[in-house]
A = this chain, B = another copy of it.
Amino acid sequence: MNIRETTAEDWPLIYPFFVSIVAGGETYAYPEGLTSDAARALWVPGPPTRTVAAMDGAHVLGSATMGPNRPGRGSHVATGSFMVDPGAQGRGVGRLLGSHVVDWARTAGFRGIQFNAVVETNTSAVRLWQSLGFLIVGTVPGAFRRSDGSYVGLHVMYLDLT
């Protein structure tokens, strides 16, 4: 398993699990029913955002985006987003992608990494980020509507790199 920057050829391999994960309704507050082009514009917007894929040979197991969380006076803090093909879960793909983003942000000179919206019931993600050193800064109550219609909180998580 290795990680590399995505190429135009990767997108058709990422889009199916992007759709599946968004439609699952448990982890991302993205618009639903995005066309492939609209989803690509979100996931692979280009610089200053960087998008990578976790590869097993020619298979894309997951993908991550990373870049400044804000422009201007907030651009010293990075952010990232992560998707793992549901068929590749349990193989450590999320951890590999998370570690990659932390290493990238540290090397690029960011002072920290902020995740703006981690669904509190997505406990495997919360625990993974905590194991990488992220802290829960706070939780916006009820800010995410799950697929069953219930409202759960969104964690703001932060890793200090200074």
Contact = CB atoms under 8 A, between A and B. Distances in A.
A62 to B, nearest CB: 21
Contact of A143 (B29, B71, B77, B117): B77
A140 B112 CA distance: 10
A36 interface: no
Contact of A29 (B28, B72, B117, B151): B72
B72 A32 contact: yes
Give the copy number: 2
A141 B144 CA distance: 24
Contact of A71 (B30, B74, B136, B141): B30
Contact of A74 (B75, B76, B111, B154): B154
B29 A142 contact: no
A146 interface: yes
A37 to B, nearest CB: 16
Interface residues of A, number: 38
Contacts of A158: 140-141
Contacts of A117: 70, 74
Given A77-B143, A138-B137, A156-B140, A30 B114 contact: no
B143 A112 contact: yes
A121 interface: no
28 contacts: A22-B72, A25-B73, A28-B72, A29-B72, A29-B75, A30-B72, A31-B71, A69-B143, A73-B144, A73-B145, A73-B146, A74-B145, A74-B154, A76-B145, A77-B142, A77-B143, A111-B151, A112-B142, A114-B143, A136-B138, A137-B139, A137-B140, A137-B156, A138-B138, A138-B156, A140-B156, A140-B158, A141-B158
